[in-house]
A = this chain, B = another copy of it.
Amino acid sequence: MTRSYEQTCRIARALDVLGERWTLLIVRELALGPRRYGDLLADLPGMGTSLLAARLRHLERYDVVRRTVLPGPGRAAGYELGDRGTALTPLLASLVEWGGGLAPPPPGSFDRAAWTMLAMRLTAPGEAVDFDTVTEIAVDGETLWLQGDGERVRLETGPAPVKPGLRLTSGRATFQALATGRTTVDDAMASGELAVQGDADRARLFFDLFSLTNPSPTHGR
């Protein structure tokens, strides 16, 4: 089917499944919640449609990805992570940590707040699971939400399914600065670049918990 390294090594076999172009970015997208085929295509600029279809079929075989019926009216078909897909969380976290050490991206790159927020979630300390305020984030028109439930932090694209207890609105540059700790909630509020609806203390706690401290909190050996 797909080209294999034909090695017994676990690393090589993992890469047999995950190592081809776009594969882990599909997993990244679905780590942000279930999506429709067309949404995936739109969020992976440059990827051809036939390739996306082939990758999804491939990943289904390993239960990395699973077909599902999306919630809400319309019973639309979509894709979500399977059990072997959610098991990729530590791998995605390693990639985020390592990628954080690279030079800053060239201007003109595609950017989405959801990617930054996913990186924040993946590298957040364990206490972040107790952040139980439903928080909606709107960055430059893009909206997403998250909530900790004591077990893990749910993070999905789109508007919050219930009325959020905290709502943060900003532009991309400000959000990036907040994410990396280059600015603070107070400064961003004072300059009008960040709007906070809800408790300002909660907003401060939010960025304290999820901030992409770079260099990273070395995990592993």
Binding site for B on A (CB under 8 A): 5-15, 17-21, 24-25, 28, 45-46, 62, 84, 87-102, 105-106, 108-112, 115-116, 119, 122, 126, 129, 152, 219-221
Contacts and interface: CB of A to CB of B under 8 A. Distances in A.
A6 B108 CA distance: 8
B221 A152 contact: yes
Contacts of A14: 95-96, 98-99, 102
Contacts of A87: 98, 101
Contacts of A45: 6
A72 to B, nearest CB: 27
Contacts of A18: 98
In the complex this chain forms, how many copies of it are found?
2
Nearest to A64: B98
Given A14-B95, A101-B84, A111-B8, A221 B90 contact: yes
Given A13-B99, A14-B95, A24-B19, A7 B90 contact: no
